[in-house]
Structure 1
């Protein structure tokens, strides 16, 4: 009996010490490693001889200077260079995400782009984020015909008025592309003064344009039957209008301080809209089927048309079910004269509303305008009321984060809608 117990104990200890993970096939281990950051996957080479070379065959490379914050510029250069040298070139590379904001960018970018070119028939997802132009960038990208996702960011040292940007090719042949993000690019117009840079992408679902400009064009045309999500942020478009024809568009994000007119024949199916500074008028019956809206508006001038444009948007949201707004957006909306007397024909299907509180900074135009509007309303009641409020402001009173009466105004046709107020500060 004693011997039997010792045998069972010995067998149990052997099972506990057995490395079952290392007994898995290479393809399974490589698949597991692909979920790690590249630097963590490389570190597994010290586990045993079984793991020494596995990382070299991972089909994904994430090389971002912002995440490798513990590495100095020189060490980041060495790390990336060794990864590219030691990796097994016979192994397929499907995903590469490279970000560089170091003094050695001019040395690393050519190495990365040459490596991409050597795997151009395999790469499906490519992200490049750099701070200066490279003559190799667009020729390299155009050779990657298997791409389904492309994100290009070129953060130049920006001029106050117009940033220096890379010209985006008028016709870039990427037949499998479904997701495209561009930061810091220029779109050039044709002989008719129209820029239509995305017409070649027949399978495009997601499009992001940020910090871009238009050259030699009065019209930016975005036309796509497959486009599901469009994001436009902080662009410097100096032209008359944006023509948007996207019948299947579901999400529209817009941030900026532009004055372009947006002719949106494709807004009829939009389900979510995120807006930064809504200085644009949207033409057409586009908001009729919107289900979810997120608005983060900003205002920098007393001549800004944002309050009235916000109200116009709300009037068009006949089928809205979910509304998310910042408290600054509500402050801007409250500047519409006699707003609380307006009878909304819309928002009758609203089911939920979320208000994200934001601090109203001192010495800003919006704070000044909100105070002036409150004083004007108080003066309409009596001079005494206005004088009392003015003294309170001088003593440090701040306008309420959520203007009085505005929640009831928005819920006048949907009084049972749930209201949630959140704050990040």
Structure 2
């Protein structure tokens, strides 16, 4: 037994010595290097260009492999200083194999970028515009130069732009999105910090030229001179609208294929058209509806159009606004008949002081109709509305009583949830209403 152990130990030492000698000569073999070039290039395409270039020191096999990657990820955050980033970018553009088509570029600079560096990158993009399929740009820079480059990339299928210009979207001098952009193959569009201009009939319709659009994200954008935002697309499946500044009366959706709709904002415009009728996953988080006299009635009109929704995610603040509708719980819903699951995201009501006071006043009015004495007692004790309005869950589930309800929150210091999967929906809501921990 001891002899076998000694022989095994001796063989292991000999193997380690040989490997050390190979490592010194740069000849050590590894499983990753045994993969074909195509697989290695696919792996490298997920790395920032800085790290992809650093693989050249691994062995002779890797020395020039990074030059063949069809994607470029250039993030300034990967460098210690902006000066290092500015020195690196021109070198990689010069040393990259020019015979290899560029299929994707991801440029991220949190802040201003040197004009000469930006121009060099955009010139390189233009030289590969016939094959470029994916383009992501996030920075502060010359938006006119960027948009001219984008308009030349007719093969694009995915475009993500976040281009700040001086004051940004909260300033009327921000980056304006062109009224027409010829990108016939575009399927995915993600826009941040843009201004959409008004067209005919006091309506903004910035996406009418994208006939193959499948996914659309509108993030922190604005409309300054229109009353209606129109989105028309027979191919659009996913729509996300997040923290936009829309001084508009309504959103007109003509999106017969729309399946997933995500809306997070403090503005609650009317939604008309045929868009919501086809939606199956609906995610809505709103606070107090500004520039509208009756935001609760607008939310109720949204619910009436949700004929095919199977999954509903809604915030507690949204439910509070909805509960302001007079005699809401007495109404019969013709929608939400196919609902399978509902997630309620608990949000601190106190963070929206206007909504908090409105909800509290409405509660006191209802109590005052029965007992003024109870009103005085509640005011003295410090009335605090429950995170989920009484009866609102049952109201939403009246046509789908077997739908599963999940209660979640990002604020564990404020809310305490003890959810038992075997409990009924009413029990879960009651536990949520009683288990509140103030920070």
**Partners of 1:160 and 1:47 in 2: CA distance:** 46
Higher helix share: 2
**Partners of 1:211 and 1:383 in 2: CA distance:** 45
**Partners of 2:102 and 2:334 in 1: CA distance:** 54
Where do 5+ consecutive residues of structure 1 fail to align? 258-276
**Could you tell me how far 1:149 is from its partner in structure 2?**
0.8
Tell me the equivalent position of 1:387.
376
Which residue of 336, 344, 351 maps to 2:333? 344
Which residue of 34, 38, 54 maps to 2:49? 38
Tell me the equivalent position of 1:177.
186
**Partners of 2:304 and 2:250 in 1: CA distance:** 22
- The equivalences for 1:88-99 within 5 A come to 88-99=97-108
**Partners of 1:238 and 1:146 in 2: CA distance:** 34
Q: Work out whether residues 170 and 222 of structure 2, in 8 Å CA contact, stay in contact via their aligned partners in 1.
A: no
Instruction: Give the secondary structure class of the aligned counterpart of 1:100.
Output: strand
Which residue of 288, 293, 297 maps to 1:299? 288
**Partners of 1:363 and 1:134 in 2: CA distance:** 35
User: Given the superposition, is the C-alpha separation of residues 255 and 157 from structure 1 closer, same or farther in structure 2, using an over 3 Å criterion?
Assistant: farther
User: Given the superposition, is the C-alpha separation of residues 302 and 293 from structure 1 closer, same or farther in structure 2, using an over 3 Å criterion?
Assistant: same
1:153-177: CA deviation from partner (whole Å, max 9, x where unpaired) = 1123437964323343333222221
- The equivalences for 1:364-403 within 5 A come to 364-393=353-382, 398-403=384-389
Q: Work out whether residues 325 and 355 of structure 1, in 8 Å CA contact, stay in contact via their aligned partners in 2.
A: yes
Moved more, 74-83 or 347-356: 74-83
**Partners of 1:290 and 1:195 in 2: CA distance:** 23
**Could you tell me how far 1:248 is from its partner in structure 2?**
1.8
**Partners of 2:374 and 2:174 in 1: CA distance:** 54
TM-score of the pair, normalised by structure 1: 0.82
Instruction: Give the secondary structure class of the aligned counterpart of 1:253.
Output: strand
**Partners of 2:299 and 2:228 in 1: CA distance:** 24
Tell me the equivalent position of 1:318.
307
**Partners of 1:217 and 1:359 in 2: CA distance:** 33
Q: Work out whether residues 213 and 235 of structure 1, in 8 Å CA contact, stay in contact via their aligned partners in 2.
A: yes
Tell me the equivalent position of 1:225.
234
Tell me the equivalent position of 1:116.
125
Confirm whether residue 209 of structure 1 aligns to residue 218 of structure 2. Answer: yes
Tell me the equivalent position of 2:436.
none
Confirm whether residue 61 of structure 1 aligns to residue 72 of structure 2. Answer: yes
User: Given the superposition, is the C-alpha separation of residues 101 and 227 from structure 1 closer, same or farther in structure 2, using an over 3 Å criterion?
Assistant: same
1:60-95: CA deviation from partner (whole Å, max 9, x where unpaired) = 111223x42x62222332333333233222222111
Instruction: Give the secondary structure class of the aligned counterpart of 1:376.
Output: helix
Which residue of 154, 168, 172 maps to 2:163? 154
**Partners of 2:352 and 2:273 in 1: CA distance:** 38
Instruction: Give the secondary structure class of the aligned counterpart of 2:334.
Output: coil
1:6-54: CA deviation from partner (whole Å, max 9, x where unpaired) = 9x94897779963343344433322221233333222212212322221
Total equivalences in the alignment: 397
TM-score of the pair, normalised by structure 2: 0.79
Instruction: Give the secondary structure class of the aligned counterpart of 1:130.
Output: strand
Instruction: Give the secondary structure class of the aligned counterpart of 2:144.
Output: coil
Q: Work out whether residues 253 and 275 of structure 2, in 8 Å CA contact, stay in contact via their aligned partners in 1.
A: no
Q: Work out whether residues 113 and 140 of structure 2, in 8 Å CA contact, stay in contact via their aligned partners in 1.
A: no
1:284-332: CA deviation from partner (whole Å, max 9, x where unpaired) = 5654443322110110559642211122222333333221111111121
Instruction: Give the secondary structure class of the aligned counterpart of 1:85.
Output: helix
